[in-house]
Amino acid sequence: MQGEIKHEEGNYEPSKEIKAFLKDSPFKLVDVDGDVNMTLERELGEKTVKIEWQLTSPFDPDMGGEQGDDGEPEREATELAVTVEKKDGSGVMFYCSTQTGEDHRYVIGNVRTFNSAEEKDGMSSYNGPEFEDLDDKLQEAFDEYLADVGMSSEVCDFIDAMAVDKEQREYLRWLKNAAKCLE
């Protein structure tokens, strides 16, 4: 086990892109050791914007090691939720996932609206229709709204990078904890 720990520590290098993004971003990262969830948060006038996602394995077992057009291994999409909440507890939540590509780095699956914390967190609350079923003008308006609150290709790049980085850090932490237990 010590050999695996040494190997993982030797191969781990924090991403320069992650550090650069955080230095220049209006978002603050919330990342707690041992928790698979991560959040980017920012205040925007009277609203709070939160982008939440979880760690992800760097390899998709279903892909069989396929490579993209650039010769790099295909990356798994990262599921994320963007919540914009007003001080009165009402707001909107976008269920999205990142996608590869240059132009548009995320797709919206659903848009949930809520009037209270109970409705926002309710397991049986309505998530809204499938995004692609909405009128094109409404889709555009939601897309522009997300851009206005800070959703961008840079944010998607950061989320994808952090999802994999977090997986690596948590795996190393898990190895160390397991080694302690087995001593």
Residue 61: give the domain boundaries: 2-182
3-state secondary structure of 130: strand
Phi, psi of 81 (to 5 degrees): -125, 130
pLDDT in tens, 11-51: 888 888 899 999 999 999 999 999 999 999 999 999 999 99
Give CA–CA dist 54/163, Å, rounded: 6
CATH code for position 100: 3.10.280.10
Which residues of the chain are modeled with pLDDT < 50?
65
Measure CA of the first residue to CA of the last residue in the chain; give whole Å: 11
Number of domains in the chain: 1
Render 44-66 in DSSP notation, one character per residue: ETTEEEEEEEE---SS-TTTTT-
- Of 3, 1, 5, 2, residue with least CA distance to 169: 5
Give CA–CA dist 94/84, Å, rounded: 9
pTM of the model as a whole: 0.87
Contact 82, 114 (CB under 8 A): no
